[in-house]
């Protein structure tokens, strides 16, 4: 049975992807900071008959990252690592002249440093898998200059670069940076609370793009969900 670790799995895209993978027969290790909400994601995934370990904690903590990998090892190994946990740096987002430096540090720690730390912890298991893969959740803010998105965008640009270098250094793995595009999530509402997100796609509508990557296993690189789904083609 294939095993995946998904960070930031308590809601939004993380929860949607967890349920979809469980439906496909994957065993899961799920992470998020809020235990009660994370357990709801685990309950929905377990409804599909797979083994699910829910470990509340902060991916910025090394002991927690080690516990996630240890849980995957207990399930039999690790075939997929999804770095989905994200921090904005400021809620709501602000211009760079007002961005708290501590907020920027938090965004970089969560979105970049912790993501690399988890990869480092998980590499022995990923290398041992016949289909080891890493998905790093990116953003269009990593490649486009949007007012107020500077700190968050910088962290995602750094994550993209780590993913690209990891792909070169670990040719036996698939390493995909994936920009899911606009979605109707709590993260977006926290970032821009005055924006009407009613017309934005749900996280569930984006999940097929991730499943396509897993099914077709293209070469490592950066992908956007709209392109994978053929939107606008």
- Neighbour tally for 154: CB within 10 Å: 20
Q: How far is CA 172 from CA 94, 138, 148, 196, 211, in A?
A: 40, 22, 38, 43, 20
Whether 188 is a known active-site residue: answer no
- Token representation of residue 1: 């049975």
Residues 26, 152, 176, 223: which is the catalytic one?
A: 152
Cβ 92 vs Cβ 99: under 8 Å = no
Closest C-alpha to 81, from 28, 32, 158: 28
Strand segments, DSSP code E, in the chain are 3-6, 27-32, 52-56, 80-83, 133-137, 174-179, 221-224
Please say whether the beta carbons of 165 and 222 come within 8 A: no
Q: Would you please indicate which residues are annotated as catalytic (active-site) residues?
A: 152
């Amino acid at each position: 049975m294939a095993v995946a670790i998904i960070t930031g799995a308590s809601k939004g895209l993380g929860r949607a992807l967890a349920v979809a993978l469980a439906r496909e027969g994957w065993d899961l290790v799920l992470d998020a900071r809020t235990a009660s909400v994370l357990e709801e994601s685990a309950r929905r995934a377990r409804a599909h008959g797979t083994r699910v370990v829910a470990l509340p904690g902060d991916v910025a903590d090394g002991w927690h990252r080690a516990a996630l990998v240890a849980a995957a090892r207990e399930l039999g190994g690790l075939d997929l690592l999804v770095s989905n946990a994200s921090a904005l740096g400021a809620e709501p987002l602000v211009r760079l002249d007002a961005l708290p430096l501590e907020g920027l540090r938090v965004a970089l720690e969560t979105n970049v440093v912790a993501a690399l730390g988890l990869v480092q912890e998980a590499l022995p298991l990923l290398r041992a898998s016949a289909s080891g893969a890493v998905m790093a959740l990116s953003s269009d803010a990593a490649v486009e200059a949007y007012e107020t998105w500077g700190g968050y965008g910088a962290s995602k640009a750094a994550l993209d670069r780590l993913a690209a270098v990891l792909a070169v250094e670990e040719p036996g793995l698939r390493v995909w940076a994936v920009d899911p595009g606009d979605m109707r999530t709590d993260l977006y509402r926290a970032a821009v609370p005055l924006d009407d997100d009613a017309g934005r796609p749900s996280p569930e509508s984006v999940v097929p793009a991730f499943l396509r990557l897993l099914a077709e296993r293209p070469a490592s690189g950066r992908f956007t969900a709209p392109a994978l789904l053929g939107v606008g083609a």
